[in-house]
Amino acid sequence: MNIIVCVKQVIDPEAPPSSFHIDAAANKAEMRGASLVIDPYGEYAVEAALKLKDAGGGKITVLSLGDNLQREVVKKPLAMGADELVLLEDEAYRDGDAYATASALAAAIRKIGEYDLVLCGREASDSNAGQTGAGIAELLGLPCTTLARQIEANGNTVKVSRVTATGYEVVELPLPAVVTVSNEIGEPRYPTIKGIMAAKKITPLVWKPADIGLEAAAVGAAGRRAELCRLYQPVYEGKCDFAAGETPEEAAAALADKLRQAKVL
Amino acid sequence: MADHQGVAVYGEVKDNALAPITAEGLGIGRKLADALKQELACVLAVGAGGDALAKEAIAAGADKVYLVEDPALADYRADAAVAVMEKVAGQVKPAIIILGQDDIGRDLAPRLAFRLGTAATLDGTELEIDAASKRLLATKPVYGGNALAVYTSPSDPQIVTIRTKAFTPLAPDASRQGEVIKIAAELDEAAVRTRVVDRVTEEVAGVKIEDAAVVVAGGRGMGSADGFTQLEELAKLFKGAVGASRPPCDNGWMPDTAQVGLTGKIIAPELYIAVAISGSSQHMSGCSGAKTIVGINKDAEANIFRHARFGVVGDWKKVLPAFTAKVKELLAK
C-alpha cells in the first residue's frame, strides 16, 4: 500500500506555557527557547502509516508544507521508518489557512500520483484548525473519515475505527481515501539508530508552488479564505488559595476544611 | 453578500431528542440572528421523528425548521450529511451555519466548508457579530489553548462549530411559534462511499464524566493505573466521575473515554479536583469551564495553580488519602 502522510513543523507544544508569547503587531505566536518539532498529531499519523506498513508492506511518503523547514525535524518520520520525503517549501507558503494549506497539499498529492491512502493528524497543535485532512478529501474528491483510533487495510478498502463521544464506530472506505488520525492510535515509536542513519541519506524533494501547478497567489497568506483578526493570550487570575500544614496530611485536611467553608463541599 | 441571510444550526439527535449541543447552538444562534435582525433556523436531517424534533427546535429558539426526513439519514454518514447540507445551504442560503464541535461537527464542518468553497472556524468559544461589518467574529483557542484567535470569513456561508458547554441554551418555551419547511433528501446512495460497519458504545460504570457534578482527575504524576483506584474512592464520595489528562490514557492507565482536554471531553462540573496534573493548556481547555478547580501537585509552579481556586502543594500519595478521609468525615456531618 502506498501511503502519503502529511505532517507539520510546529513550535513544541510541550514547552511550558510560560515560554509562550505573542507578537501582537504581527499577530504571531512564539515560544521563547522552545524547539521546533513535528506536530504530535502528525506523528500519530506517521505511526498509523507505519503500523499499516508493518502489517502489509508498502511505501510511506511524508509530505510537509512550510517555510524554513528544519531538515532534522522534518526527517524524523523517515527515522521512524517512512521511505520518502516531499517538502513544499517556499516563502509563498507562509501564513496560509486551512484552505490555502489543503489546496497546496492536494496539488502535491496529485503530483505524487500513486497513492492508496492519505493520512493527516486530526488537527495541528498550533492552529488547532482540524480541517486539513477533510479539505484535502474534498479537493481531491476522495472519501474521508476522521479521528481514527485504528486502521485496518483489506485489499481495496480500509476499515477505520473512529473515536465518538460515547465509544467508537467502524467505517469502511474504498481506496484511495483520506483518514485523519487521533492520539488513540497509540504512542508513536521512537526513531531507531538504523532509521536515523537511513534518514540522513534521503534527500527530500522540494517543490515550489509552480512545481505543483499553483500560482503563488493561491498559496500561503494570499490563498486564505479566513482572516485572522486578532491573536491574544487569555489572562488567568491566578489567585490560588493554598492550604498549608506541618505535614502533607495536615495540608490535605486543611484543604477539605477550606472547601467546606467555601460551601464547595 | 446580501443574498445570504440568517443563521442556521445543524441539528443533532441524541436519545431521540434534540442533542444538548444543538440547544446550545440555537441559544447562541438566537443572539446572532437578533443582532443581525434576521431569522434563526434549525436544519434537521434525520431518519425519523422529525415533527417532535422540530417542535423541540422551535421551543429552543428556532424561527424556522428545515426538516429533511429520510430513513437513509438515521445514522450519521459523512457523505450523506455533506450532500444534504450542501443542498439545504444552496436552497436556504444562510449567512451563518453553526455545528457542534463533536465527532459529527469535526467531521462535517470542514467537509461542508470546502464543498461550498468557504471557510470554517472550528471550536468556537465566543461568537459575535461585528457591529460595523455585520460579519461573524469567531473566537477559538489555538496553540493548545495557550492563545485565543478571532477569525472572520469574507465569504458566505460562514461556518463555525461551537465547543460543548461554551454557550447557554434558552429555556425551552413550548409556546414559541415557528414554521416547519420540509425538504426532500434526494440522496444518491452511490455518492455515499463510506459504510458504517459497527457502532460501539463503551459502557461506563457509574456517572458519565460529561454529566458528573464532581470530577476527580489524575495526570502523568499518578505513575500507574493503581493510583486511579484511589481517585475512584474520592470520586465515589461525591457520586462523581474519574477523569484523566492525556498521558494516563496514552499509557493505558485509563480508558480513552476518560480523557479531559482539547481533544478529549470538554466538561463543566461544579468541582474539578486535579491530582498530579501539571495543567497544560491542552488539558485546561477541557476543564476550565468547571466552577471550582482544586489542584494537588508537588510542584508549586505547576500551571494548574494558575487556574485553581484552591490547592495543596505536596505529593499526592500523602495528600490524597488524608484529603479523602477528611472529605468523608465532612460529608458525613
Q: How close, in Å, is residue B319 to chain A by CA atoms?
A: 5
Q: Which phi and psi (to 5°) does residue B99 adopt?
A: -125, 170
| B317 membership: H or E segment, kind and range | helix B316-332
Mutate which: B107, B121, B164, vs A, most A CBs within 10 A: B107
**Per-residue DSSP letter, B224:** S
pTM across the whole model: 0.93
State the pLDDT at residue A231: 94
- Cell numbers of B156, please? 458566505
Q: How many helices (H) and strands (E) does chain A have?
A: 7, 15
Pick from B118, B250, B309: CB nearest A183: B250
Chain A, nearest residue to B292 by Cα:
A264
The predicted-structure confidence for B150-171, as pLDDT tens digits, reads as follows 999 999 999 999 999 999 999 9
Identity of the amino acid at B241: A
Q: Which phi and psi (to 5°) does residue A146 adopt?
A: -125, 165
CB atoms within 10 A of CB A228: 17
What is the C-alpha to C-alpha distance for residues B112 and B89, in angstroms, rounded to an integer? 10
User: Is the CB of residue B186 less than 8 Å away from at least one CB of chain A?
Assistant: no
What is the C-alpha to C-alpha distance for residues B62 and B156, in angstroms, rounded to an integer? 20
Q: Which phi and psi (to 5°) does residue B79 adopt?
A: -60, -40
CB contact under 8 A, B151 and A226: yes
CB contact under 8 A, A13 and B194: no
Chain B, nearest residue to A162 by Cα:
B103
B 91-120: CB under 8 A from A = 102-103, 106-107, 109-111, 113-115, 117-120
Helix axes A132-140, B105-116, angle to 10 degrees: 40
Average pLDDT for B315-321: 97
Residues in chain B: 333
- Give me the DSSP letters along B159-171: EEEE-TTSSPPPP
What is the C-alpha to C-alpha distance for residues B9 and B160, in angstroms, rounded to an integer? 10
User: Is the CB of residue B299 less than 8 Å away from at least one CB of chain A?
Assistant: no
Pick from B151, B193, B319: CB nearest A229: B151
Pick from B119, B305, B321: CB nearest A240: B305
Q: Is the peptide bond before A176 cis (omega within 30 degrees of 0)?
A: yes
The predicted-structure confidence for B111-127, as pLDDT tens digits, reads as follows 999 999 998 999 999 99
Question: Among all chains, which residue has been given the C-alpha cell 501511503?
Answer: A3
Where is pLDDT greater, at B322 or B145?
A: B322
Select from A82, A85, A70, A1 the least CA-distant residue to A38.
A70
Helix residue spans in B131-280 (DSSP H): 225-237, 246-250
The predicted-structure confidence for A170-211, as pLDDT tens digits, reads as follows 999 999 999 999 999 999 999 999 999 999 999 999 999 999
List of chain B residues whose C-beta atoms are within 8 Å of the C-beta of residue A141: none
Residues in chain A: 265
What is the C-alpha to C-alpha distance for residues A174 and A155, in angstroms, rounded to an integer? 9
User: Is the CB of residue B305 less than 8 Å away from at least one CB of chain A?
Assistant: yes
Cβ neighbours of residue B229 closer than 8 Å, sequence gap 6 or more? none
Question: Does A17 score more than 80 pLDDT?
Answer: no
CB contact under 8 A, A98 and B110: yes
Q: Is residue A51 within 8 Å of A15, Cβ to Cβ? A: no
Average pLDDT for A19-46: 87
User: Is the CB of residue B165 less than 8 Å away from at least one CB of chain A?
Assistant: no
User: Is the CB of residue B303 less than 8 Å away from at least one CB of chain A?
Assistant: yes
The predicted-structure confidence for B221-249, as pLDDT tens digits, reads as follows 999 999 999 999 999 999 999 999 999 99
Q: Which phi and psi (to 5°) does residue A19 adopt?
A: -85, 0
User: Is the CB of residue B191 less than 8 Å away from at least one CB of chain A?
Assistant: no
